[in-house]
Chains A and B, each alone.
Chain A
């Protein structure tokens, strides 16, 4: 955790937005302080990385005018545009922790377009369709008590009544669905809220309520809210992680040729995961495995969302299942063949933003994310590749380049160019470089842009970086005569590298 936080601070300094995003998704406290008492927001603001500042604010970094850290961020801001962004947040007290998975789960409470809910909770004596439309898997993930109930007494129910008052019920469902609610709690609901929280086994909410009782001043209250909002998010992440690991991944079912699919489906009757969609995966060894999943979560990926928005067969099957509630009719979706680990990484990402992608699977995850039209996942995978030291030991840099081209990952293209530039002498002996340059030049002919070769441009750019030159420096040094100075400046090495590229281009009769 500590390492991740330091990495985050570093990413904030250098302005690596993608990596910062990945690191925040590991659950790092964005409002933490490093050994010099700097917050990530302060570092990003000081170093002038607007993108990172925005990301941090979106992910719940606090810029509070009542506190030293907040004021410091504003005064430290490198430019006016960052200062303005910060000042805008300065005045809004409400804390929105917009972790992507939190946002998605919150949206489930309101967005009913996909019809994914499977249980309704009504206040007492009011059994109709106006109750809260909730998801069993989420209730079960967030509260052990509810999980027990759902597996036993409520196992066949789709409508429940509860004696919890409506206003309190709203608050605790919002809490479960991670809608920021802590600042909305009014003291009039206090007692019944504690009671209901105990009844539904929401330990963190109970804890918060107990502490809230002792705080009277508003700044103390907002500090408390900030602290708990963060803890609520991380607590929920942990719970969902647990749920995914125990109830989905461990409860997946291997199919082998002898077992009957129909029979297996029986197993999903009253399954602890309360699935409404089954994912069938075949790995390269042609083993097949079924994962019980939830459309509510899968719809985070554009692919699934489109699939179930269109009035096509999948959607029809799903709606039919919703009516019949027959586990044999559960919609079964297959994905392109991949290792089981890959799909598990993706599921973890979709459910709780897990960004831990072992480098061994990074390329596959990238390709699968591309298939699923999930851009953020793609950049996570790309970051995983570029951050790993082992990755290059096992993969050719050109493989990365080709994957980058196919998936349009600019970050990877530049990464590859940088690697090549920094070790140009070795790579220049590799014929693969020549074919890569040819491929790059062909891509341009289609795009009908000016006759540059992107790969060559990138390599030249990183050659400058390699010898720490600015473009003007080259001009100035080209007029310099002093051999000693030229040597120490590194311009000779640079020119050597440039010549290598020129030679290769000549060899390929290309111009750029």
Chain B
């Protein structure tokens, strides 16, 4: 499903290489986790995949179901089924959460040649999904993420994911800032979406999330590369020993 090969990325503004050759394949139906020290390039990878400006791909490729992602506009990538739950969801004063989501849902339906969802059906759907995530109706009316608490913002990301039903979901530290109960809610939300056709890339610092969303593969990213991959036990190793041991194994 998601196939990243030898991806090298530098910043547009300065000559600084952030990703130094990333190889990663996420198969349909699987959950891959990425862990790694601060500044190792995890968010950069997720931004480059979703099409944010400011990065230059110097080498390598990234495809989703065989389609070259890197040439596409962000909205085209979304239409293909890529979704990024942001590490820092953006506040957009003046744009209502509901308007935003309805516009997004219908834009994607249109891009896929489906009919637009009418207001009533949309309302029903979003109410149901919001309820599952314990997002109250009042929050839906507020401008996108404005005045939301850290945890509310993260739940709002998952709500968007649930509404858009993407094929490939990238979650960038969705667990950071969540209380224990919210972590459970969010994990349930993610697990509810798990199916044979959908892939997940879960970026996290904590093994706790991976107790709820059990990954098939755990990758360790350091200094712009995936330096080690393994099963869920790798996350436990990180939790217990930190990154020092793993880094020591990596050839310089």
Partners in one complex: no
B residues contacting A by CB (< 8 A) are none
